Structure 1
Amino acid sequence: MYHRFIWLKSIVIIISFLTVTTSLGYCFDHLAVGAILGGVTLLVRQYWRLYRLNYWLWHSKKISPPSTSGVWANIYEGIYSAKLINRNKRKSLGEIIHRFREGTEAFPDAAIVLDASSKITWCNRLARIELGIRWPEDTGLNIELCIRDNQFTEFLQQQQFDLPIEIQSPINPTKVLEIRAVPYGSEQLMLLVRDVTRLTQIENMRKDFVANVSHELKTPLTVINGYLEMIPEDGSMPQSMMCKAMSEMRSQSFRMQSLIEDLLALSRIEASAERAFEKLVNVPSILWQIQAEAEALNKEKQHKIFFDISPILYVYGIETELRSAFSNLIFNAINYTPDQGVIQVMWGFEGQQAKFSVKDNGEGIAADHLERLTERFYRVDKARSRTTGGSGLGLSIVKHVLSHHNSELVINSTVGKGAEFSCRFSPELISLIEPEEHTPITN
């Protein structure tokens, strides 16, 4: 609390002290000595108080001032009051900085604050993860030493931050980062960095999808139009050529129809709002039906197809989707396995899960193709795939069906030894039903 200082009282005290010491000197016939002793005593006292002030300011751990009186009490009180005000300000500022850091740590993006010289003054945790910045070791380091990219350097130099830029991650070449710059504080800049790898992949897939659909539909139409142009208006074409033209046009129209049906099926699966876990699906019955269809499809290739189906194992799901996924895997094995190969279809338990798998002893698939097999229209061997009439959408349909059922497609393959396509259903989807009378088809 502030107490008003009374200067007159302090002056009166000093004059009274000097008067007393001078009077004592006069009494002992040493007037000058008395006056000097009085002045020295006052000076020593003031220096002692200065020493206590200095010790309190720089060495004492106590925030409260030493007890004193007079003008020094007011000085101590003023300094103490200023220290309390500054302490509260620092505390408030610390809380603001703490809240700011907590907020920026919760950012979905990496954030970096740069000064006017493009040196790092602060960054959040995501910046340390996405860009490899070390904190606080890299404080004061130029950001261009952390992000060595010509496009980024030009971005900073031009100072045109209306649009973001996309660069390759400095620590992970497979990632694409979007960098946006916004003014921050006084002559500072905040960089917001976002991982857009997935968005870039989706955009590229969309472009590829449009291009592939256009190409896949254009090819059979070109063949059909070509044969139509060859046929004379009066129909006078040799019988052999007419038969060939009709056969080829029929084949291409079937291929185009298959492509459109697969596109519609994939679109229905992606847009489906049907709940996947309410209806019980008789998987054994579905597989026995597919077995009959597979035997009809297999007449030319003469594969040995073995079905090992558990008759009591049912799952909750969407019957049409599961049938589409299972038939695609089985028919793919028939179409792409060399003649007289061996195909094994299994539906049963693996541990506590239900497993469906299709295994063949065909040519196998190289490891660098496995990750992309479920992309739309992706083909390992485009020439061979077109001769089989495939649309390139089968595995993409399987992937989306299994995703709808909280499962995934697992592909294991060795070149020259065949491939296995399998999926597993969690125990929560499994139901055991006593088998009904049936007549499964066997080889």
Structure 2
Amino acid sequence: MLERLSWKRLAGELFLFCLPAFILAIFIGHLPYLLLVSVFAALGWNYYNQLKLSHWLWLDRSITPPSGIWSWEPLFYGLNQMQMRNRRRRRELALLIKRFRSGAESLPDAVVLTTEEGNIFWCNGLAQVLLGFRWPEDNGQHIFNLVRYPEFRLWIQSRDFSRALNLQLNNEHHVEFRVMPYSEGQLLMVARDVTQMHQLEGARRNFFANVSHELRTPLTVVQGYLEMMVEAKLEEPFRSKALDTMQEQTRRMDGLVKQLLTLSRIEAATNIDLNERVDVPVMLGMIEREAQTLSSGRHEIVFTVNNQLKVFGNNDQLRSAVSNLVYNSVNHTPEGTRIEVSWQQTPQGAKFEVKDNGPGIEAQHIPRLTERFYRVDRARSRQTGGSGLGLAIVKHALSHHHARLDIISQMGVGSCFTFTLPQRFIVPHTQQAEIFVKNK
């Protein structure tokens, strides 16, 4: 086990160099001259090892230092140990940096490291996607050259990083910026995409505004007639008209509240039991009778149903989806329209379709039809009692069954609303036969 150098070891080494001089002086004398030769030999030995060390430090590309003996052995060994420790520390530091960058790449936010002057020296992948940075081309660029917004420049220059900056970028994304000191002379900037939060906040505001607007009209009508009844006694036929109007408006409010509760219940449902056997043909038989009653002979309604096609799913939600599609077609198409309802098995799964030859829907309205309270013709929807919630209920009910509502419409030709439940939702005929035998 090697130990560090000491005065005793150096003195012992010098004595070994001088020992031959003492031995020769016994026989031939001239001790001073022999000691001088021994000292020069010791100096030459040390100079030789110094040259070896210098050659290794400056010219030699080998990892390990040269070997040495005597007092130079612990020096070379110590250098070797120090080099190994440095290599180990560099590996640990490189691994730490790798872990940091891997963690930063995994963050759901854009991360940018800059100097206090604002020069970028690292950014993660999301910063390249969200902020449009290019790496490593933008290394050393000033942040103001890449994020060119006056609000951002004023916020950075103010150095008041206790508050976040919300900014709408040119790519239509809403981004929340936060800056914090990272290390001495460095800043860490985090940019979070809050576009979805802004959309949800806008949807929330629109939802409350629409609900308030939808309830205000019937409440105003009912309140007005009640005030008139309190102030004066109404005579026929005005009294009957007032009562009929109030009943109509209360039914409208009741229908709106029921649809809101249905939509809320469907959206809040997280654990849906999709193993329930739903007898869709029986369901469609009941809906057909209700649709005929609702139409009162104003439409030609044709149902084409595969009576053997039953599915797994949630009965209430599937009924809400199917009935809303049928009732919407009856309510929102003019008299004389032919409405075709189909429930058939296809290679893709169980397909439900409601098709009419009505006036159709303009193309710009189709992407927004499933939004809450969205109406193509608001005046006509109020006349038919529509609330704009039916297709929103259909959309959310189908999402729980891994299906999507497809809408195809052409002006002057008609509209077609379809969805297809995946093949795995179809009840096999063997299970249907077993159920039939048990019921029999």
Given that residues 302 and 339 in structure 2 are in contact (C-alpha distance below 8 angstroms), is that contact kept between their aligned partners in structure 1?
A: yes
Question: How much does 1:291 deviate?
Answer: 0.7
Question: How much does 1:48 deviate?
Answer: 6.9
In structure 2, what is the Cα distance between the partners aligned to 1:244 and 1:66? 112
In the TM superposition, what whole-angstrom CA distance separates every residue of 1:57-109 from its partner, at most 9, and x where no partner exists? 24433211223456765654454343233222212212221222222223232
2:5 corresponds to which residue? Answer: 4
Instruction: Choose from 246, 249, 259 the match for 1:249.
Output: 246
Specify the SS of the correspondent of 1:290.
helix
One-letter amino acid of the structure 1 residue matched with residue 296 of structure 2: K
Question: How much does 1:47 deviate?
Answer: 7.7
Given that residues 14 and 42 in structure 2 are in contact (C-alpha distance below 8 angstroms), is that contact kept between their aligned partners in structure 1?
A: no
Question: How much does 1:251 deviate?
Answer: 2.1
In structure 1, what is the Cα distance between the partners aligned to 2:20 and 2:380? 116
Q: Are 2:376 and 1:380 equivalent residues in the alignment?
A: yes
In structure 2, what is the Cα distance between the partners aligned to 1:107 and 1:314? 45
One-letter amino acid of the structure 1 residue matched with residue 102 of structure 2: E
In structure 1, what is the Cα distance between the partners aligned to 2:338 and 2:234? 47
- TM score, norm. by length of structure 2: 0.83
Please report the RMSD computed on the Cα atoms of aligned residues, expressed in angstroms: 3.2
In the TM superposition, what whole-angstrom CA distance separates every residue of 1:351-400 from its partner, at most 9, and x where no partner exists? 14111121222333333333322221112222221122101111111112
One-letter amino acid of the structure 2 residue matched with residue 210 of structure 1: F
1:139 corresponds to which residue? Answer: 139
The 3 A distance-change label for structure 1 pair 349 and 379 is: same
In the TM superposition, what whole-angstrom CA distance separates every residue of 1:138-183 from its partner, at most 9, and x where no partner exists? 222222333223332222222222232322345x32x322222222
The 3 A distance-change label for structure 1 pair 186 and 293 is: same
Given that residues 348 and 420 in structure 2 are in contact (C-alpha distance below 8 angstroms), is that contact kept between their aligned partners in structure 1?
A: no
One-letter amino acid of the structure 2 residue matched with residue 255 of structure 1: R
Instruction: Choose from 170, 184, 191 the match for 1:193.
Output: 191
Q: Are 2:128 and 1:128 equivalent residues in the alignment?
A: yes
Q: Are 2:159 and 1:163 equivalent residues in the alignment?
A: no
1:28 corresponds to which residue? Answer: none
Alignment of 1:353-368 (within 5 A): 353-368=349-364
The 3 A distance-change label for structure 1 pair 416 and 9 is: farther
Specify the SS of the correspondent of 2:304.
strand
The 3 A distance-change label for structure 1 pair 418 and 181 is: farther
The 3 A distance-change label for structure 1 pair 17 and 81 is: farther
In the TM superposition, what whole-angstrom CA distance separates every residue of 1:101-135 from its partner, at most 9, and x where no partner exists? 22222323222222211222222222223222222
In the TM superposition, what whole-angstrom CA distance separates every residue of 1:216-265 from its partner, at most 9, and x where no partner exists? 111111122223344575534352x3443333323222211111111122
The 3 A distance-change label for structure 1 pair 365 and 86 is: same
Gaps of 5+ in 1: 19-34, 437-443
Specify the SS of the correspondent of 1:348.
strand
Alignment of 1:298-313 (within 5 A): 298-299=295-296, 302-313=298-309
1:83 corresponds to which residue? Answer: 83
In the TM superposition, what whole-angstrom CA distance separates every residue of 1:175-208 from its partner, at most 9, and x where no partner exists? 3222222221223222222222222222211111
2:314 corresponds to which residue? Answer: 318
The 3 A distance-change label for structure 1 pair 377 and 79 is: same
2:204 corresponds to which residue? Answer: 206
Alignment of 1:21-420 (within 5 A): 52-69=52-69, 76-169=76-169, 172-173=171-172, 175-231=173-229, 233-237=231-235, 239=237, 241-272=238-269, 275-299=272-296, 302-420=298-416
One-letter amino acid of the structure 1 residue matched with residue 383 of structure 2: T
In structure 1, what is the Cα distance between the partners aligned to 2:234 and 2:250? 23
Specify the SS of the correspondent of 1:136.
coil
Specify the SS of the correspondent of 2:368.
coil
Given that residues 353 and 419 in structure 2 are in contact (C-alpha distance below 8 angstroms), is that contact kept between their aligned partners in structure 1?
A: yes
In structure 1, what is the Cα distance between the partners aligned to 2:359 and 2:329? 11
The 3 A distance-change label for structure 1 pair 152 and 367 is: farther
In structure 1, what is the Cα distance between the partners aligned to 2:146 and 2:327? 52
The 3 A distance-change label for structure 1 pair 274 and 72 is: closer
In the TM superposition, what whole-angstrom CA distance separates every residue of 1:421-443 from its partner, at most 9, and x where no partner exists? 2111112211143698xxxxxxx
The 3 A distance-change label for structure 1 pair 136 and 328 is: same
The 3 A distance-change label for structure 1 pair 94 and 232 is: closer
Question: How much does 1:15 deviate?
Answer: 8.9
Question: How much does 1:287 deviate?
Answer: 0.7
Specify the SS of the correspondent of 1:313.
coil
One-letter amino acid of the structure 2 residue matched with residue 306 of structure 1: V
Question: How much does 1:313 deviate?
Answer: 0.6
State which drifts further: 363-372 or 220-229.
Answer: 363-372
The 3 A distance-change label for structure 1 pair 100 and 109 is: same
Aligned length: 416
State which drifts further: 109-118 or 51-60.
Answer: 51-60
Question: How much does 1:3 deviate?
Answer: 4.7
Given that residues 407 and 417 in structure 2 are in contact (C-alpha distance below 8 angstroms), is that contact kept between their aligned partners in structure 1?
A: yes
Gaps of 5+ in 2: 22-35
State which drifts further: 422-431 or 5-14.
Answer: 5-14
